Structure 1
Amino acid sequence: MGEFEAIRPYADTEVRAVLARLLTDDAFLSILTRYRFPRLAGPCGWLLKPIIAHYLRREIQGVDSVAALQARIEPYVDRSIERASDGITYSGLENLQKGRAYLFLSNHRDIVMDPAFVNYALYHAGHPTPRLAIGDNLLQKPFVSDLMRLNKSFIVHRSISGRREKLAAFQTLSAYINHSIRTEGESIWIAQAEGRAKDGDDRTDSAILKMFHMSRKDEAFASVLRELHLVPIAISYEYDPCDLAKARELYIRASTGSYSKAPGEDDASIALGITGYKGRVHIHFGAEIDTPEDDAKLLAQRIDREILGHYRLFPVHYLAYAMWDERDPQLAVPPADSLFEADELARARSEWQRRLDACPAEQRPWLIMQYATPLRNRYAALYSAT
């Protein structure tokens, strides 16, 4: 495992030492103090941090493996997930075989909650949780890196600028993913493209698929992908807690040609994504692609059809699409009131209007686009399948 030392998750033998380090990390304890006692954290933080550390020490007593840690924190994660949603449903789990390691490839809307919801579904269905790909841009603080690597996350180096260094990093990443699935029997979760689909347009980047093949270039592309047991996942949110922030970013990019993140912006997105209201959430596990195309672009298109074809649409998507200037006249999209009960539609109209009112007028087209695009893509996928 030496070649993967810089990116791999922590092993069971490292859990106790990493937990001990976290309990003495002032930045970590400060974050917990502000979260648990927002009003007292400032004036009384010096007093509260040792109390929180003592409580955590008692809670993790006897935890000496990653599985034990996940089992210990699972009730807290479940509560956090369920508190910020109106229910989670999932489908397609019958497509998965117990004991087989998979390469889960999903659309990407939220930094933390996408893999969290996948873990939630798999854990409660009795499947092992996968190892999770996370960009190094999100690991600015040592304690964040420790927390993520304790939770089976491995690091994707995105901040490297040199071409040669990038190729070497992708080669290592490819080798690690193949080693994890084929040798260690550990599943992998990774997003279908780098960065969140802030405009709601979920598309698989063929470069990601080529990366999986990089470390085994002497073998046929389709053969390598077949052995990774690729499973597309469609993650559908009724509401995106970060939709206004995304609309603002899209507007600024369209107006100026670029966008620079403010310090701490990723941290704010993570916090809002975890705690913000999501409405209903649906996770669909597609059938394994056991006969992948030998061309990365064709395989990407097939994965897109799987993800877009199983995206769960909610009333808000129809309401946004009806307002969208870029509606496709060739798509036979029925009106919302023909698909949903009156009370459900009334609740959706109220929530959608609240979001529109909170969005500056010049940014609203980008807010509308976020919710309208998944509907267009879903109907286009269904249309192309007929």
Structure 2
Amino acid sequence: MGEFDAIRPYADSEVPTVLARLLADDEFLDILTQYRFPRLAGALGWLLKPLIAYRLRLEFSQVASVAALQEKVEGYVDQSIERATDGVTYTGVEQLKSGSAYLFLANHRDIVMDPAFVNYAVYHAGLPTPRIAIGDNLLQKPFVSDLMRLNKSFIVHRSLSGRREKLAAYQLLSAYINHSIRNDCESIWIAQAEGRAKDGNDRTDSAILKMFHMSRKNEPFAEVIAALKLTPVSISYEYDPCDQAKARELFIRASSGCYSKSPGEDDQSIALGITGYKGRVHVHFSAPVSSCLEDSKQLAAEMDRQILSGYRLFPVHYLAYAMWPERDPALDVPSAAQLFPAEELARAEAEWNKRLARCPVEQQPYLVLQYANPVRNQYRVKAGLPL
């Protein structure tokens, strides 16, 4: 057994076996049937499932590598993105050089779509897609684990409780990330903090930056970070499909002091994040960090500055900020009407009002918060003020 076998993505040699296992998985075929034929799945699922499995076996029979699989799946991904967005744009990708591997550190709003949009940008720029860090809390079902590891995902063990076990897991993770970039020349995508920023307040956890250095502690921190080509990535959604669920969770947490997920809640978030309307999406790649910052907290502050600066603000963000009671009087934030054409603003106002109307009154402040925080953060960065 190899050093990283417990967490690494599947290798090319494993693809045919894993695909065969997936296409024999009843639960996986159920989900595909419901997604493809939502009205017929209940009554005719018994007939549709074997037909779908047969068609997929034919379609993927010649797939024998991860790259070939991603090539096949790319068309489906593009269709899904086209159905659920008003277009994806990206900037800064021209700074990425073919033949180099990067450590992409991104803000985190959606479980699956954040890395999917980074993959989309990188793939369409003609570059290899990165390996993706995913928490083991999202891999409760075997078919989900198979799907993700086929798509270049590697496992981050978050469900460990013992201090010694956690330390060993982070050591292994650090070694794998360094090995992937330095030895395999394969880029990595990882979120800037554990869990989504449900309040729209993107912040880098310095513990993650420390983790990158754990397996190379005998080398200076700044040199390790430079060798990994740590690259800040900003992912901006015009509308978050999960904003209502996030507002509800924030309200319950604020009013009761805690929040317990119901069974299957992560699965529902994943499905809604993939299929729900997002408006426009923008991905910005900053240049790899070149500052020789010896301290993980200083580096976290620099990552925040880069990620928040690269975040694209849409009209809805300014509309939310204008009605936010906690907006910052020290900031000179223009109104949406000053920045956007009347027609674009009218569409945004109509969509925003629909979202507010769907949200219970007591939860609305937490909906506003999600869209207002990015405005506050970006203008504080622009003004050189602390976050």
User: Could you say which TM-score interval applies, normalised by the shorter chain?
Assistant: over 0.9
Query: Is residue 329 of structure 1 aligned with residue 333 of structure 2?
Result: no
Query: Is residue 289 of structure 1 aligned with residue 289 of structure 2?
Result: yes
- 2:257 aligns with 257
Post-superposition Cα deviations, 1:128-150, rounded to whole Å, max 9, x if no partner, equal 00000000011111000000000
SS in 1 for 2:331: coil
Q: State the AA in 2 paired with 1:348.
A: A
- 2:307 aligns with 307
Matches of 1:362 and 1:87 in 2, distance apart?
33
Offset of residue 346 of structure 1: 0.5
SS in 2 for 1:287: coil
Q: State the AA in 2 paired with 1:4.
A: F
Matches of 1:349 and 1:311 in 2, distance apart?
21
Q: State the AA in 2 paired with 1:275.
A: T
Q: Which runs of 5+ in 1 are unaligned?
A: none
- 2:166 aligns with 166
SS in 2 for 1:94: helix
SS in 1 for 2:384: helix
SS in 2 for 1:3: coil
Post-superposition Cα deviations, 1:296-318, rounded to whole Å, max 9, x if no partner, equal 00000001000001110000001
- 2:341 aligns with 341
Offset of residue 292 of structure 1: 3.6
Query: Is residue 218 of structure 1 aligned with residue 218 of structure 2?
Result: yes
SS in 1 for 2:234: strand
Offset of residue 114 of structure 1: 0.3
Q: State the AA in 2 paired with 1:334.
A: P
Written as runs of structure 1 = structure 2, the 5 A alignment for 1:58-73 is: 58-73=58-73
Offset of residue 290 of structure 1: 2.5
Offset of residue 59 of structure 1: 1.0
- 1:13 aligns with 13
Q: State the AA in 1 paired with 2:284.
A: H
Q: State the AA in 2 paired with 1:27.
A: E
* TM-score between the two structures when normalised by the length of structure 1: 0.99
Matches of 1:206 and 1:34 in 2, distance apart?
41
Matches of 2:156 and 2:288 in 1, distance apart?
24
- 2:32 aligns with 32
Matches of 2:55 and 2:354 in 1, distance apart?
40
SS in 1 for 2:30: helix
Aligned length: 386
- 2:137 aligns with 137
Matches of 1:2 and 1:40 in 2, distance apart?
45
- 2:243 aligns with 243
Identity of aligned residues (%): 73
Stretches of 4+ aligned residues off by more than 3 angstroms: none
Q: State the AA in 1 paired with 2:67.
A: A
SS in 2 for 1:2: coil
- 1:179 aligns with 179
In angstroms, what is the RMSD of aligned CA positions? 1.1
Q: State the AA in 1 paired with 2:211.
A: M
Q: State the AA in 2 paired with 1:338.
A: Q
Matches of 2:4 and 2:140 in 1, distance apart?
20
- 1:361 aligns with 361
Matches of 2:306 and 2:259 in 1, distance apart?
32
- 1:109 aligns with 109
Q: Which runs of 5+ in 2 are unaligned?
A: none
Matches of 1:18 and 1:213 in 2, distance apart?
33
* TM-score between the two structures when normalised by the length of structure 2: 0.98
Offset of residue 385 of structure 1: 7.8
Greater CA deviation, 201-210 or 214-223?
A: 214-223
Query: Is residue 270 of structure 1 aligned with residue 270 of structure 2?
Result: yes
- 1:95 aligns with 95
Matches of 1:36 and 1:344 in 2, distance apart?
33
Matches of 1:292 and 1:122 in 2, distance apart?
27
Matches of 1:286 and 1:49 in 2, distance apart?
44
Offset of residue 336 of structure 1: 1.0
SS in 2 for 1:155: strand
Matches of 1:147 and 1:125 in 2, distance apart?
24
